[in-house]
Chains A and B, each alone.
Chain A
């Protein structure tokens, strides 16, 4: 154990040093998460750089989703989850008592693996988050909704049918609608948990394009099991396995020149270890 820990820490150290402190959106220290006593993440340390796309890759069940759901405290809902360690968003501990969870979740938006539009109209889906906050005049709300749909590259497809049911959209459109409704409340961070895994190649491409454009004003965290996708859209990539962070670095470096054999094996698809 001990001899494996030190090179990994060293590898991480190198990446961390690349990112100036003011460029760090999330800082995670010694994060451990367990489901009903079963460890899913153990002692994680990592930074998420601001206005960049960070990808989490790793075999299924390694704890990617668990990590992502820690960022917006979705684990709070589950009484069986035990969390240790600290998560800082822009320098503030998100578990501090003065933090309002609802406000945190508005700042840290999340898109799930399966599109989950509400069974309402397209318009109402995007307006949902807005209606939770101080009432906007209808004119202003309509503007925000148009802007959000535009940002999610969906406006042209739905502008004539805003009051149709959201469930009448295709899977790819639904996922972009979910992104639009998240963007409407103007988050600082967007968490994407395998957002394209249920979609066809064309829809996947659209989502990837979207991710690239959004990073100009958002911090994005992308979980994916698709290595090409991580390589295509992310600036940094973290490789997790068995609930631990194995390697984390600039995407180019990690894919072309991984430091550890475990990473290389995973990237190249070799399973012999």
Chain B
């Protein structure tokens, strides 16, 4: 629609040009390497590797998934290999370093299983028997054993679902109600009945057992209730492995964390990150736009305005932890404390708003990103030619009408640019959040079906903090490491998606409101 003049450029030749090109190549390479590393390590985590049955020269046998190999520390030759052997309850550790020279044979028998358990991490070994009350199946039953196992595990998860529903929707509301007032006899009956049903369900979940045996010969009997997933990677076709990979990714995205954040999924953290960023955008946009409009359209353009503008620009450079301290002091202790003593006095001393939470974290980040939004909006406003303002006024518009109907709509793309920059900055911030509301493990996400549906006072999980916590605070570093990569990749993706949404929005609006070019 409008033609662009060919850009006039300074052409540098010789070593200068090579230096400049090299700079670009280096930065590009670094970004790509970073992405490749976290994507590779993060995504590989969900691939089910074969389980090796290893016999050592000493005659000892064990089973495990090879993780990586490295040179022997302090020696010129030889190397050692790390196996994930599971069975932490039997061996005391689920990792094992083995000198490659000490290995006699390695095979991959198809009957080796890896079982994700609710406690003690994975089990690796053989499934000997499945025992039900009426019958039992052994390895010699072949496919029938596995089919039966699958059916019975599905039954357990169905029972678990029933129990959880009973617990959350019947027992808890009743217990809460009973806390407040004395129990009536009918309520007592109801409570007793629900408790009995829950116990019955739990008993039913314990009905079936499996008998397992590790390669070192130790036996283990587990109720199906304790199992999460049973896999035989050695027997899987490539397609089955791919399906298992997809399922792993999906569970990582959709489930909550387990085992002190070193296993399981990150759904609450994704949810918390997105919620916090959205709330932050909703809070920062009106304030930023109002401030920019005041600075650019209303305030007399004197020395004071210039000073304020410089101040705002410099606020963008204040370290984020400083905002965290401010948020803790002013929002959490100051405002939150007063709110508690005014409206939630009967809950005290346990704080409601007087502790970190979603609202305070979003507000703190809104404050942190306010300068970005102000600056971007102001630049957008300054780009609108005066002739547009005068055109509106000359038609009999008042100043506020000219602002509302001509200037602000034309500045919307610039505002969205500000919000995009704000999102990019806020979604990656972790330091201030640690002071104002992020949680290592939040039992409830901040949105549910309970009135008022969005619980701004709740603590929340955050991908950035999850990386920090899983990587450096969990006991099992080897187990946490791939999760750290996967979570890092996810954080990058979440930020990209949030930004793309805003960019798309800006594009749509721009197409509708073509900004007139300067002439």
Binding site for B on A (CB under 8 A): 72, 74, 77, 79, 102-103, 105-106, 109-110, 112, 114, 116-120, 128-129, 131-133, 165, 167-168, 178, 181-182, 185, 198
Contact = CB atoms under 8 A, between A and B. Distances in A.
B514 A119 contact: yes
Contacts of B395: 105-106, 109, 128-129, 132, 181-182, 185
Given A77-B389, A133-B396, A167-B1, 10 more contacts: A77-B390, A103-B396, A105-B393, A105-B395, A117-B516, A119-B513, A119-B514, A119-B515, A129-B396, A131-B405
Contact of B390 (A112, A120, A132, A165): A112
Contact of A168 (B1, B392, B519): B1
A7 B388 CA distance: 42
Contact of B396 (A79, A116, A185): A185
B392 A182 contact: no
Closest 7 CB pairs of A and B: A106-B396, A129-B395, A116-B387, A110-B394, A116-B391, A102-B396, A105-B396
Contacts of B390: 74, 77, 110, 112, 116
A189 B122 CA distance: 87
Contact of B519 (A79, A114, A178): A114
B513 A74 contact: no
18 contacts: A77-B393, A79-B300, A102-B397, A105-B394, A105-B395, A105-B396, A106-B395, A109-B394, A112-B391, A114-B519, A116-B388, A119-B516, A129-B395, A132-B397, A165-B514, A167-B2, A167-B514, A167-B516
Contacts of A72: 394
Contacts, number: 72
Contacts of B393: 74, 77, 105
A118 B388 contact: yes
A135 to B, nearest CB: 14
Contacts of B1: 167-168
A120 B405 CA distance: 11
B398 interface: yes
A102 B410 contact: no
A155 B392 CA distance: 22
Contacts of A105: 393-396
Contacts of B398: 102
A176 B347 CA distance: 70
A272 B410 CA distance: 48
A76 to B, nearest CB: 9
B226 interface: no
B22 interface: no
Interface in B54-111: none
Contact of A178 (B2, B391, B397): B391
B414 to A, nearest CB: 14
Which one of A119, A129, A181 has the greatest number of beta carbons of chain B within 10 Å?
A: A119
Interface string B406-448: 1000100000000000000000000000000000000000000
Nearest to B301: A79
B190 interface: no
